[in-house]
């Protein structure tokens, strides 16, 4: 039984579609991104949808080929909300449930926007973060559902900002584990689950928002139009650029070439 750690947000649900069935050969647990990374590093799971920045931290890992959670432009669920013009932001709250998006925000502030606000890690609470700071980086369903207009703040989509800065897609997360953690059969099953989950966007959103039916249409549209689940050469270029920028700003210890579980033997 391969132990999977999956990000608990809507955007990761297509990757785990059908894998919680007892006959799948996988066991599944859901956590915030930072917790998925911690569990993988500590050996609590075999494979996790970890924040992409975590690949550069700790031991050497392998990535399941062809699968990612990313965007090529608007993502809607990773955003900087600000109550003042961006060039006047002095304090920026950072969502502690995130690692990759926090690194992305730091890169964009330094290299794209040319600002250096006081950055303050805070629990995810958009309204509370914005009461405490001029602006806030928020990720996941909280960012997707937060009504910036009603709150009187501007929403800056960090997927759009990254593409404006680099011309490239951004990869927020991918399946990763230690060498040998999964077989070629496991890789094929994960790829098939992704394909099925992407094709079932309406079903995935309806199940995820079963207590909030008013959000189902938004969720399904988000899965279809915003989140990209492939890992092609363009995504690789985006990851490589992100890693170079992160290392350059001291957000990761050193650059590491991306390596995949080999298609022939899963190692």
Q: Name the pLDDT band for 194 (thresholds 50, 70, 90).
A: very high
Structural domain that includes position 141:
78-166
**Does the residue 260 lie in any domain?**
no
Q: Name the pLDDT band for 266 (thresholds 50, 70, 90).
A: very low
Angle (nearest 5°) at CA 11 between 197 and 103: 140
Same domain? For 198 and 67 the reply is yes
**Does the residue 267 lie in any domain?**
no
Of 69, 142, 133, 80, the closest CA to residue 108 belongs to 80
Quick one: pLDDT at residue 21?
81
CATH number of domain containing 149: 3.40.190.10
User: Taking all residues of the chain, what is their mean pLDDT, rounded to a whole number?
Assistant: 94
Backbone angles phi, psi at 52, to 5 degrees: -60, -30
Domain total of the chain: 2
Average pLDDT score over residue span 208-236:
97
Q: 58, 29 in Cβ contact below 8 A?
A: no
pLDDT greater than 90 at residue 58 = no
Tokens of 252: 């990761």
Same domain? For 100 and 154 the reply is yes
Tokens of 57: 């931290």
pLDDT greater than 60 at residue 265 = no
Residue with token string 């608007």: 74
Same domain? For 143 and 88 the reply is yes
**Does the residue 200 lie in any domain?**
yes
Same domain? For 112 and 227 the reply is no
Same domain? For 158 and 206 the reply is no
């Amino acid at each position: 039984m391969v132990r999977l750690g999956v990000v608990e947000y809507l955007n990761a649900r297509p990757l785990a579609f059908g894998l919680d069935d007892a006959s799948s050969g996988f066991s599944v647990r859901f956590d915030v991104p930072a917790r998925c990374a911690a569990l993988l590093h500590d050996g609590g799971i075999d494979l996790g949808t970890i924040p992409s920045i975590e690949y550069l931290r700790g031991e050497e890992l392998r990535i399941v080929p062809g699968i990612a959670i990313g965007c090529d432009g608007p993502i809607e669920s990773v955003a900087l909300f600000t109550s003042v013009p961006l060039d006047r932001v002095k304090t920026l709250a950072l969502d502690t449930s995130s690692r990759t998006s926090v690194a992305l925000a730091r890169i964009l502030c330094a290299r794209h926007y040319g600002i250096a606000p006081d950055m303050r890690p805070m629990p995810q609470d958009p309204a509370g973060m914005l009461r405490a700071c001029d602006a806030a980086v928020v990720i996941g369903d909280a960012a997707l559902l937060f009504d910036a207009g009603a709150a009187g703040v501007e929403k800056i989509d960090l997927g759009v900002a990254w593409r404006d800065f680099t011309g490239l897609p951004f990869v927020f997360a991918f399946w990763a584990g230690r060498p040998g953690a999964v077989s070629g059969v496991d890789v094929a099953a994960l790829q098939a689950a992704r394909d099925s989950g992407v094709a079932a966007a309406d079903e995935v959103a309806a199940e995820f928002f079963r207590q909030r039916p008013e959000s189902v249409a938004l969720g399904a549209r988000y899965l279809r139009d915003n989140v990209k689940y492939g890992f092609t050469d363009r995504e690789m270029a985006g990851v490589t650029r992100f890693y170079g920028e992160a290392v350059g700003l001291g957000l990761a210890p050193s650059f590491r070439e991306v390596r995949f579980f080999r298609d022939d033997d899963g190692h």
